[in-house]
Structure formats: structure tokens, C-alpha cells
Amino acid sequence: MRSYSRRTVLFQSTLAAAWGQNPQARYDLLIRGGHVIDPSQNLSAVRDVAIARGKVARIAEGIPESSARQVVDARGKLVTPGLIDIHVHVYDGVAPLGIPADPNCIAKGVTTVVDAGSAGAHTFPGLRKYVINVVDTRVYALLNISVVGQSTLSTDNPWGELIDLRLANPKLAIKTIEENRDVILGIKIRLTENIAGRHDLDALRLAREASDAVGLPIMAHIGGTFSSLPKILELLRKGDVITHTYRAGEGGILDSNMRVLPEVRKAVANGLRLDVGHGAGSFGWGVAEAALKQDLAPGTISSDVHHYNVQGPVLDLATTLSKFLHLGMKLEDVMARATVNAANTFGFPKGLGTLREGSEGDVAVFQMAEGDFVLTDSGKQSRVVHRRLLPVATVKGGRVYGAASIPVVTL
């Protein structure tokens, strides 16, 4: 990854990166002239962002180029805090749905991710040793309540990690979390019937037991469950998260008349958080359109990017964010859901998802492409959208990474 990053920075044709011009400079990096959107401080204006010793040192207009060792010309681009994607799968080589973190996250404007349950107590040490500790993307995790994590389910083996309830082990989950509190931020459970059988509520009670013992939230994957969503919601608490909020089909947030279930509104009023988790099967344009019309907006927008959707329909977090622009959300509100809101959902260290002075030097640069782009949901339904966020470059801890090119469908 390191040589890859250096190469892509050097070949980054859309940015003028001036290297080594000012050895006495007070800043290491200046991201100049972009439209900065930082919802954490209600900022949406043209600004320069200066970074020193890996931290945001200053945001202002007209910071001189001569004050920085390296300059990224972001004029005409959008500049945001490094994005946070709270639902990805980056246990490449162990979970069948795992993908490598760096080409799919840090190369796409995402500096911080949460691996959502790819690992359980038995497989977590490998996630830590071979992924978290070595990749450039900042990776946190939600521990699967099943000891095997998401290592069983694939397209050719359709049985998930809780099909045998004996694999849900709160005691081992608690022990693993206590030993890894610096990187484990919560507990993940998937409740779809081919994963949790008909004992979904029993499995969720075991996740609840572990969650209560360690004082960390649950992220519950909903949809296609044996038990109804209202029954599941009864076991969730303030600060817990449901992911796949806009999934089409049985077990979702809407009734048969496309009205938001009253139990969902009540749970949200009581502090339940709604996450998108687009995924291969969990985002329906029709559901999202109906829900947003009824003012049921997500708290966080995450991609659930993994092996079975990274070639489409998900592609990356920026594409999922673009779908919410098409749904009518303001750019600033969309960005809040992948920066400050994401940072507030779990117990991350301070200084992520924001460009406040003194915070981590994590920045994403995007181009807003305008035209006609076909974006597809998880059920092969398409919409023609007219704005699309394209990742251009990423900065993490003051270091510049190039952005990988992504397929663009133009009519």
C-alpha cells in the first residue's frame, strides 16, 4: 500500500502538489482554495486548510502557499473531514465478504471505518493482527456476537453465523472486548432468518447481555427476519444502531402501505440510531424515497461495502452519499452523516470527523461531477442522478493519498 500511495499521489493529475519547496515552512501541508464543508462547525465556505504534525493547524482564507511544505490545489473541489464509514467489511481472506481496506476506503476519501462484525471472539485476534494493525485506513470494529464472525455465509453456503445459537457466546465476547477496548466499539448481530434462524430474539438477548456488561452499543442488521421488527426493537436501547434501515421487503421499517411503522418512530424518539448500510441487499430506492418523504432521515450514511457489492451497486461510500443527494438531502446534511454524526455514534477517540483546529489531519477532497449518472439500488432499481461525488484525494494524519478511479456510468 505504501508504494501504491506514493505512486498515485505523484500521478494525481488533477491536483498540483508542490513538494519540498519550503523547508522552513510552519505547515506540512496546505489544502488550498476548496469549498470546505465541515458540519461539526457549521462551516460551508471557501477556505484553506493547513496541517502541521499530523493535526489540523488552521482553517482560514488566504493562508500563503509559502507557509507550507506541500500544497494541494483544491480550487473547484469540495473539501471535507476524512469520511467515517461505520459499516464496512475489511477482513479480507477470512470472511467471504471481506475486501482489502486501503483500495476501498482510504483511496476513496474514507479515513476511518468500522468493520461491522466480520470477526467474532475466535477470529478477532486475526482481524487485529493482519488488518487493523497493518493497513493505512484507520480500522475499528464491532465484534460479532457469534464466535465465528461472518466466516460462514457466502453465495454458495447460505447459512450464517447464528444458525446454531450455541455459537453466540456473550462470555467470550465480553472477554475479547475487555482485551481490545481501544479498537472494539460495539457488538454486531445479523438477524436475517438464514443467519439467525427462528431464534433471532434469543440471539439478540445474548448480544444484549454482552452489550450491557461492557457498556457498548449494539448494531443490529435488520430485514428478512423471522420475528417482526417491532419485537426486535423492544430489545434495543438508546445509543444502539439499526443498519439496513432502507432495506426493501419483509421485516423493514415500512408497513404494507409504505408508511413508517409507529414502533420505529418511537424507538428513534427513545434514542435508537438509524444507519443506512447500503450493502448488496439492503438499500431500496422506493423505501428510501417513501421514508424520507415521511421525514425519517438516517442518522448515519454507511456503505456496507464488501465483496458482493464493491463492483456495484455500492462501489464506495461516495456513491452511497450521492444517492442521498438525489433523495433531496442537502450536501451539508449528507456530509454530516459521514463525518460528525458517524463520529458521535460510537466511542471513537476525539478529533475524528471534524476539521476543528487540533483535530486529526484527516481530509477528503471530492469533485462534484454534474451530468446524468445511473445509480442502482440493491434490487436492481435505477435512478438517473445529476450530481455525483467523485473522490479525488485523501489526507490521513497529514499524509496525502491519491484516489482510485471509479467506474462512472454516463447516459
Contacting positions for Zn ion (CB under 5 A): 116, 304
CB of 267 to Zn ion, least distance (A): 20
DSSP labels for 40-109? GGTEEEEEEEEEETTEEEEEES---GGGEEEEEE-TTSEEEEPEEEEEE---TTTSTT---HHHHTGGGT
SS3 label, residue 395 = strand
CB of 91 to Zn ion, least distance (A): 11
If the CB atoms of residues 275 and 360 are measured against Zn ion, the closer one turns out to be 275
Per the rule left: phi > 0, alpha: psi between -120 and 50, beta: everything else, 55 is beta
Report the alpha-carbon distance of residue 192 to residue 269 in Å, rounded. Answer: 25
First to last CA, the chain: 34
CA separation for the pair 357, 63 (Å, rounded): 14
Q: Which of 199, 214, 141, 136 is nearest to 165 (CA)?
A: 199
Kindly state the smallest distance separating residue 148's Cβ from Zn ion, in Å.
15
What is the smallest separation between the CB atom of 55 and Zn ion, expressed in angstroms? 32
Strands 273-274 and 184-190: unpaired
- Looking at the Cβ atoms of 221 and 337, the one nearer to Zn ion is 221
Nearer to Zn ion, 195 or 385 (CB): 195
The single residue listed with the C-alpha cell 461539526 is 40
Closest to Zn ion by CB, 161 or 304:
304
CB of 100: closest distance to Zn ion in angstroms? 16
Output the nine-digit C-alpha cell for 311: 463492483
Cβ atoms of residues 228 and 263 within 8 Å: no
Q: How far apart are CA 203 and CA 88, in angstroms?
A: 22
Which of residues 304 and 377 has its CB atom nearest to Zn ion in the complex?
Answer: 304
Closest approach, Cβ 328 to Zn ion, in A, equals: 26
Nearest distance from C-beta of residue 302 to Zn ion, angstroms: 9
| Residue (102 or 304) nearer to Zn ion, CB | 304
Nearer to Zn ion, 82 or 149 (CB): 149
- Is the peptide bond preceding residue 64 cis, with omega within 30 degrees of 0? no
> How many other C-beta atoms lie within 10 A of the C-beta of residue 193?
17
* Residue 295 Cβ vs Zn ion, minimum distance, rounded to whole Å: 26
In the complex with Zn ion, which residue's Cβ is closer, 116 or 168? 116
Could you tell me which residues are beta bridge partners of residue 35? 46, 78
Q: Name the residue nearer to Zn ion (CB basis): 108 or 247.
A: 247
Decide whether 307 or 356 has the Cβ nearer to Zn ion. Answer: 307
How far apart (Å, rounded) are the C-alpha atoms in residues 374 and 386?
9
Q: Where are the beta strands (DSSP E) in 245-302?
A: 273-274
Question: 89 to each of 80, 275, 302, 310, how far by Cα in Å?
Answer: 23, 15, 11, 11
Residue 329 to residue 331: CA distance in whole angstroms:
6
Task: Please state, in angstroms and rounded to a whole number, the distance separating the CA atoms of residues 315 and 409.
Answer: 12
Q: Give the residue closest to Zn ion by C-beta.
A: 304
Shortest distance, position 224 Cβ to Zn ion, whole Å:
13
